[in-house]
Amino acid sequence: MMNTVDIDWKNLGFNYIKTDQRYISYWKAGSWDEGTLSEDNQVHISEGSTALHYGQTVFEGMKAYRTKDGSINLFRADQNAERMQRSCRRLMMPTIPTDVFIEAVRKVVKANEKYIPPYGTGGSLYLRPYMIGIGDNIGVKPAEEYLFSIFCMPVGAYFKGGLTPSNFVVSDYDRAAGNGTGAAKVGGNYGGSLLPGAEAHKRNFSDAIYLDPTTHTKIEEVGAANFFGITEDNKFVTPLSPSILPSITKYSLLYLASERLGLDVVEREVFIDRLDEFKEAGACGTAAVISPIGGIQYKEEFHVFYSETETGPVTKKLYDELTGIQYGDIEAPEGWIIKV
Ligand SMILES: *Cc1c(COP(=O)(O)O)cnc(C)c1O
């Protein structure tokens, strides 16, 4: 049964909204408990929690979509589960098995079904799984107790009036260290990105672009999204580096570029002084799917790709293909959609 909820679906942004139920599970003495749904959105933890002092915290971001026939799609949730396992191992935290993770996501989506934006509004139910080290600790060592939770909220279409390019500026700051935690979705990577992000905004750019921390010559990330470019000879190119967070959206676009659009695809270095090899460029991630890049400011130079106001045709095709799959309008590659 679907109750209704008083939300202006067309004007939803990306803001915290308290929904009815969240999944909570505790790890103690070497194992996870059963896990429950809770109405309480407050987390009560020890002042000695490692999450508070030493950044023992990982998270994920994913979405559930209402389809035309009224069913609910999860997009590649197994990939989020596996990435979270890799993040946990990097921070010496216990892992959540993929089947437990997906079942918990299902429970949260079902319990908050009335918050899923209707098909056609461009909205979706954003899910935020996270794990934190808790318990009474003080030394720099892994916690002995952990909390795993998933909460959710309705979010609106990132672009209300269709895809719109925006401009980015190359930051002097590094996002991650060369052999650090850049490839893991860990809380510590994001606190440090707030200042470069704010400085970019102050200069009227959408976000900061980070170069590789070792040589500062190659693009790594666009804010908290991955970079891709379409070359003049129609190759889909995306940077390869051990300090980039492997975006599920990016690898999905890479597959679709190859299998559905017939482009050559390559993961390789993208030099910041060779932007002229691309006729289109974009940032990709769960939140916006694709955010077309109008131009990039690097030192004194401003490089425009396709246009500062219009989205290039390849970027548009990739966006339509991927969002069509997520909302169930286009047939998905094997295993990409899990029904709730
Ligand atoms: C989450 C994230 C992305 C995007 O990953 P998706 O799986 O596509 O949502 C890209 N870069 C960073 C730094 C991220 O944290």
**Tally of CA atoms within 13 A in the half-sphere of 338 that contains its CB:** 20
pLDDT at 3: 63
Query: What is the CA(164)–ligand 1 centre distance, in A?
Result: 20
Query: What is the CA(161)–ligand 1 centre distance, in A?
Result: 23
Domain final residue, candidates 155, 185, 204:
155
pLDDT at 202 over 80: yes
pLDDT at 268 over 60: yes
Query: What is the CA(284)–ligand 1 centre distance, in A?
Result: 8
* 212 within ligand 1 shell (Cβ under 6 A): no
Percent of the chain that is helix, strand, coil (3-state, to 5): 25, 30, 45
* 285 within ligand 1 shell (Cβ under 6 A): yes
Supply the residue whose CA is at minimum distance from atom 10 of ligand 1: 225
Is 339 inside any structural domain? no
Who's near 49: CB < 8 A, 6+ residues apart?
132, 133, 134, 135, 137, 143
Is 272 inside any structural domain? yes
Is 123 inside any structural domain? yes
Is 337 inside any structural domain? no
185 and 140 within one domain: no
Ligand 1 pocket test: pick from 90, 286, 326 the residue with the most ligand atoms within 8 Å of its Cβ: 286
Q: Is 185 annotated in the active site?
A: yes
- As a whole number, mean pLDDT of residues 103-109 equals 98
198 and 99 within one domain: no
Tokens, residue 115: 């918050």
CA-wise closest residue to 338 among 164, 167, 99: 99
pLDDT, tens digit (0-9, with 9 covering 90-100), for 275-324:
999 999 999 999 989 999 999 999 999 999 999 999 999 999 999 999 99
pLDDT at 12 over 80: yes
Task: Catalogue the E-assigned strands of 160-315.
Answer: 166-170, 207-211, 219-222, 225-231, 235-238, 264-267, 278-285, 289-298, 301-304
CA-wise closest residue to 163 among 332, 13, 14, 313: 313
Ligand 1 pocket test: pick from 241, 247, 251 the residue with the most ligand atoms within 8 Å of its Cβ: 247
Supply the residue whose CA is at minimum distance from atom 14 of ligand 1: 224
298 and 199 within one domain: yes
What CATH number corresponds to the domain at position 76?
Answer: 3.30.470.10
What CATH number corresponds to the domain at position 240?
Answer: 3.20.10.10
Whether the Cβ atoms of residue 45 and residue 147 lie closer than 8 Å to each other:
yes
Report CA torsion sign: 330, 259, 310, 156: positive
127 — phi, psi (to 5°)?
-115, 135
- As a whole number, mean pLDDT of residues 139-157 equals 97
- Cα gap 8→231, rounded to integer Å: 40
Query: What is the CA(4)–ligand 1 centre distance, in A?
Result: 32
Q: What angle do CA 288, 117, 316 make, to 5 degrees?
A: 30
- Cα gap 181→199, rounded to integer Å: 23
pLDDT, tens digit (0-9, with 9 covering 90-100), for 39-75:
999 999 999 999 999 999 999 999 999 999 999 999 9
* 221 within ligand 1 shell (Cβ under 6 A): yes
Is 2 inside any structural domain? no
234 and 193 within one domain: yes
Query: For the packed helices 248-259 and 77-90, what is the interaxial angle rounded to 10 degrees?
Result: 130
141 and 80 within one domain: yes
125 and 243 within one domain: no
pLDDT, tens digit (0-9, with 9 covering 90-100), for 211-261:
999 999 999 999 999 999 999 999 999 999 999 999 999 999 999 999 999
Q: Domain of 204?
A: 166-326
104 and 192 within one domain: no
Burial group, residue 292, by CB count within 10 angstroms (0-12, 13-18, 19+): buried
**Amino acid making up residue 36:** T
Whether the Cβ atoms of residue 133 and residue 93 lie closer than 8 Å to each other:
yes
Whether the Cβ atoms of residue 312 and residue 279 lie closer than 8 Å to each other:
yes
63 and 179 within one domain: no
pLDDT at 1 over 70: no
pLDDT at 2: 55
Catalytic residue among 63, 107, 185, 250: 185
182 and 120 within one domain: no
- Cα gap 79→81, rounded to integer Å: 5
* 183 within ligand 1 shell (Cβ under 6 A): no
For the CA of 252, the closest atom of ligand 1 is 8
Number of domains in the chain: 2
- Cα gap 155→10, rounded to integer Å: 10
Who's near 271: CB < 8 A, 6+ residues apart?
217, 218, 219
**Length in residues, the chain:** 340
